[in-house]
Structure 1
Amino acid sequence: MRHTTARTSVTGRTGGTTVSRTGWAWLLPRILAALTVLVCSVLVLPAAPANAAPDGPTATEVSFAGNGGVVLHGTVLAPVSTTQRRPAMVMIEGAGNRGRRELRLAAEALAQRGIVTLIYDKRTEGYNLLHRDYSVLAEDALAGLRLLRSRADVDPARLGMWALSEGAFVAPLAASRSTDVKFLITAGAVGITPAAQTAWGYDEQLRHAGVSGSFTHTMRVTAVRMTIGAGIFPEAFFDPAPVWEQVRQPVLAQWGELDREALPRESSQIIRQALERGGNTHYTIRFVPEVRHNLYVTANGGFDRLARIPANYGDYEASWIDRLTHALPNASADPAPPQHIPSPTLTPLAWYESPWLQLAALLVFLVAFAGYPLTAAVRRIRGRRGAPPVRRPARWLAATGLATTLGFLVYLFFVMATAAHVVGPVLIGRPIAWLVLQVLAVATVVATVATALSWRRHRRDLTRADRARLGLLAAAGLLFLPWAAYWGLLIP
């Protein structure tokens, strides 16, 4: 078979100019050489700007040992391109154990802007509803910082911390203990004690729900003080101001203008004054428009909890970090948003407010109010007839007293568990549940009076056992009066 070799000519047109294969042979090596020079020049750059725009973050699961050897699990989110050293941050979540998912959206947004971020699950050993230690949590955060520092894609000169809400109690402690922390960024930092902040937050939520009157005082003052006295409010009187005085790193403190939890105006003033007392004038205080406590989007004036971030989330932070490589920031502060009421002053409990006395009163109520119908049922089972002549008011007292006591405990703990975000429908300035409890409390007082009068009228007709049962019931009713007044059930 005869083979012929055809000589082909490849041409291309660029702007009307014909390029032959011979031309490409001359041009292609020069293009490759130029690209090689460009790539090499990128590889030798010591750092990339924080506001670089990578294609997207990569996620790496990590584990590290925190304070006391407790193993913590987290995720490092980093820009796809890891050929350059990047700024990096340990991100510390707010109160509770929501885990790293609470900060995932924010961490991804920051990573997309060229910042390596570490988010991790908070310890459960040594952190719960009854116990926490911000000093221990600070050591955990520093352990995370050491993990980031060991990464090849992290620039140790631009290694910092980012903290939300309760995390902003922790991050200043960590920053004051280690020079490896080069900057500090906070969102929704609180400048007052956790107890005062909780009380203020209750008031904000209840005011927004249209609640007024005694229930507001019960939640804002009585309930908070009682939980402190009972020892079930950990770190209640932690004062963040002295810790902020020890912070020497540049600080970017941010609050949402619609923050309903962290007292933006008061907290920013306290933190600013504490930094200046410590000689730190390298701070930026910023109030972000139209966002809530965690700088997320809000559709309800800051009172909702939407899991959505603004489109430009992280732009300012990345730019601020990038500017640190050129010069430390000078002190600056945005005008603070208005604050409806100041933080409350929580006084110590008086002797009659002792949690032990409160518990004793509740036990008396349960024994007396629940015991009366139980003993009546036992009498019937045994075939004993002849109920005491005062049975009708006594039954009402037992029923209304028991319903009020149990209903109060359930509703109070429910509202506290939701941080007053859920109170139910409101009528004439009161949650309907609270209004029902107030009506029951009044009925209990009326039934107490009726039982006492009937007992006195028929005391000669009562057996010794009946006197004992009714005496305990009436005593519980009399004790109920000051107790209900103290908790606001008999106050408008």
Structure 2
Amino acid sequence: MTAALTLIVGALLSVLSPPAASAAGPVPAPAGLTATEVSFQGFGGLTLRGTVLAPQKARGPLPGVVLVTGSGSGVPREYLLTEATEFARRGLAVLIYDKRSAGYTQFRRSYSELADDALGAVRELRAQPGVDPAKVGLWGLSEGGWVAPLAASRSADAAFVIVVGGNAMTPIRQQVWNESSGLRRAGVSGSLIDRGKRNFARLGADADLFAEAFHDAPGVLERVRQPVLGIWGGRDLQTPPEDNPPLFARALRRGGNTHYTFRFFPEADHGVHETPDRGLTRGDALAPGYADLVGSWVRDVTSGRLPDADTAPLPEQDYPSVAIAPSPWWASVWMQTAALALFVVAFAGYPLAALARRLRGRTVRPVSRWAGLLAGAGLTAAAGLVFYIFYLMAAGRYPDPGPVLAGRPLPWLALQGLAAAAVCAGAATAVSWRRAAGSVPVAERVRLGLLLTAGAVFVPWAVYWGLLVP
């Protein structure tokens, strides 16, 4: 049972990975730029390969920036080629590299290891001819927005930090907001989002299947001493663009760092690319002015012109994100596994035992016809909830919850109806048993006792998951 639950909760790890190219390798030099192939050591001595793009006609040592990509295993350097090309054309030396696949899977990832990889890239770029080693910093996209600050907090080699679509909240909070927003766009509201999806995410983290779910982003930012540039797209559908900047500011200020700049591009997507459909699709081009901002800001901060808490008005996001704590002990993966095991044994066992007796020619009149409804409705509701939320998790950002009525998908309404029927049937069965207590055979008492025990456990379980909540 635990293994089955583990596989189901593994759907939580359908985190938004950028599309990977078919193969990683050398990058040809774009017009007006040079391309230098490099290799360096990352965490655990792993050799990582990358490319440094720089202007062909550079005057004096250049500032440099290492680009740290978003989530996904083995993301090739070409994924950030547009950013690298545009930044290099603004006078920067830019290192892009193939992300590790070793030690990075749907079931395991380590921001600490990725941060060590990024610092290895910083050391390599600092050593490149024509690069000013005192002016090399880090740029992180999405997941890289957790990794780049962590790397900078560990080493003064990084002169600055840029985060794009970054989060100063836990990954589980960001991911639940991301997936819940997809449901809200489909017209869904209520307990499916507030309890079902949120608690399923916590269950995944409890089972150690949601890697880095409670990464302490504010704690890391408190240790960052370098100037920070935060950039968000107003059409970001993956990271809450209104909630995160104040969280960044508070964490940086707690650490005594007021050298930050926050800017927003209203019509840009998660990666600050142009988007033709309000963030659903990533366009090829960067948002107008984005590359200019990065180039000018890096030149300013590496020349000693540091910003002082410079932020633009926040963009508006459609739905707020919600802080998510780890599961309490009574809702842990072990307790959930025990509850599901009880439901299977009791709810499925009740009719199966009756069938076995009929096959042996021993018929016992049931205490109440309601007992069969309790068994059938309870088992269907429990199994249906697990598989329906699993389906929604696997669908990621673009779920199809089915027809929606008054904010509730019809499959969810059906599960809620079954849960209510199970509760009513349980109460009716208990009343009938009490009235007929003296005439109930011992074997039937055991069977009914187990069934009613499962029915009693089902009530708080269904409330927790939202089946008995509007």
Q: Is the 8 A contact 1:257 1:289 kept in 2?
A: yes
Q: TM-score, normalised by structure 2?
A: 0.79
Change (3 A) 1:67 1:350: closer
Q: Cα RMSD over matched residues?
A: 3.5
Q: Distance in 1 between matches of 2:256 and 2:373?
A: 67
Paired residue for 1:122? Answer: 100
Q: Distance in 1 between matches of 2:236 and 2:245?
A: 12
Paired residue for 2:462? Answer: 484
Change (3 A) 1:285 1:353: same
Paired residue for 1:263? Answer: 240
Q: Distance in 2 between matches of 1:468 and 1:82?
A: 86
Deviations 1:32-59 (A, max 9, x none): xxxxxxxxxxxxxxxxxxxxx9616677
* 1:248-397 correspondence to structure 2 within 5 Å: 248-276=225-253, 278-302=255-279, 304-306=280-282, 308-310=284-286, 312=288, 314-324=291-301, 326-331=303-308, 332-338=310-316, 343-346=321-324, 349-350=327-328, 352-379=330-357, 382-384=359-361, 386=363, 388-389=365-366, 392-397=369-374
Q: Is the 8 A contact 2:222 2:253 kept in 1?
A: yes
Deviations 1:42-101 (A, max 9, x none): xxxxxxxxxxx96166777765432222344x4425258488765433222234436236
Deviations 1:292-316 (A, max 9, x none): 22213334433x2435333645333
Paired residue for 1:146? Answer: 123
Q: Is the 8 A contact 1:110 1:116 kept in 2?
A: yes
* 1:400-419 correspondence to structure 2 within 5 Å: 400-419=377-396
Paired residue for 1:177? Answer: 154
Paired residue for 2:416? Answer: 438
SS of 1:116's partner is strand
Deviations 1:457-482 (A, max 9, x none): 66666554343333322321222122
Deviates more, 1:226-235 or 1:419-428: 226-235
Change (3 A) 1:390 1:267: same
The higher-RCO structure (CA 8 Å, 6+ apart) is 2
Q: Is the 8 A contact 2:69 2:143 kept in 1?
A: yes
Paired residue for 1:188? Answer: 165
1:68 aligns with 2:44: yes
Change (3 A) 1:378 1:389: closer
Change (3 A) 1:467 1:137: same
Amino acid at match of 1:146: R
Tell me the CA shift for residue 345 of structure 1: 4.5
Structure 1: gaps spanning 5 or more residues: 1-52
1:89 aligns with 2:89: no
Query: Among 54, 78, 84, which residue is 2:53 paired with?
Result: 78
Amino acid at match of 1:177: R
Tell me the CA shift for residue 168 of structure 1: 1.7
Amino acid at match of 1:413: F
Number of residues paired by the alignment?
A: 436
SS of 2:140's partner is strand
Q: Is the 8 A contact 1:70 1:123 kept in 2?
A: no
Q: Distance in 2 between matches of 1:58 and 1:350?
A: 55
Amino acid at match of 2:392: V
SS of 1:76's partner is strand
Tell me the CA shift for residue 351 of structure 1: 5.0
Change (3 A) 1:66 1:391: farther
Change (3 A) 1:391 1:77: farther
Q: Distance in 2 between matches of 1:463 and 1:428?
A: 47
Tell me the CA shift for residue 446 of structure 1: 3.2
Tell me the CA shift for residue 491 of structure 1: 1.1
Change (3 A) 1:344 1:119: same
Change (3 A) 1:362 1:446: same
Amino acid at match of 1:488: G
Deviations 1:163-214 (A, max 9, x none): 0123222212222333332222110221233344344445544433322222
Paired residue for 2:75? Answer: 99
Change (3 A) 1:246 1:389: closer
Structure 2: gaps spanning 5 or more residues: 1-28
Tell me the CA shift for residue 230 of structure 1: 4.5
Paired residue for 2:142? Answer: 165
Q: TM-score, normalised by structure 1?
A: 0.75
Amino acid at match of 1:187: V
Query: Among 217, 222, 232, which residue is 2:199 paired with?
Result: 222
SS of 1:265's partner is coil
Deviations 1:393-452 (A, max 9, x none): 444333322221111112223334455642523221012322221122122223334444
SS of 2:242's partner is helix
SS of 1:481's partner is helix
Paired residue for 1:399? Answer: 376
Q: Distance in 2 between matches of 1:193 and 1:160?
A: 24
Q: Is the 8 A contact 1:56 1:111 kept in 2?
A: no
Q: Distance in 1 between matches of 2:72 and 2:385?
A: 25
Paired residue for 2:7? Answer: none
SS of 2:340's partner is helix
Deviations 1:305-357 (A, max 9, x none): 43533364533323433445655243322111235665534456555334432
Q: Distance in 1 between matches of 2:353 and 2:193?
A: 38
Q: Distance in 2 between matches of 1:327 and 1:351?
A: 51
Q: Distance in 2 between matches of 1:446 and 1:280?
A: 58
Change (3 A) 1:409 1:62: farther
1:239 aligns with 2:216: yes
Tell me the CA shift for residue 366 of structure 1: 1.2
Sequence identity percentage: 44
Paired residue for 1:24? Answer: none
Q: Distance in 2 between matches of 1:86 and 1:229?
A: 46
Deviations 1:340-391 (A, max 9, x none): 66553445655533443222111100112222344445445x5435354358
Tell me the CA shift for residue 256 of structure 1: 1.0
Q: Is the 8 A contact 2:68 2:140 kept in 1?
A: yes
Paired residue for 1:470? Answer: 448
Deviates more, 1:400-409 or 1:418-427: 418-427
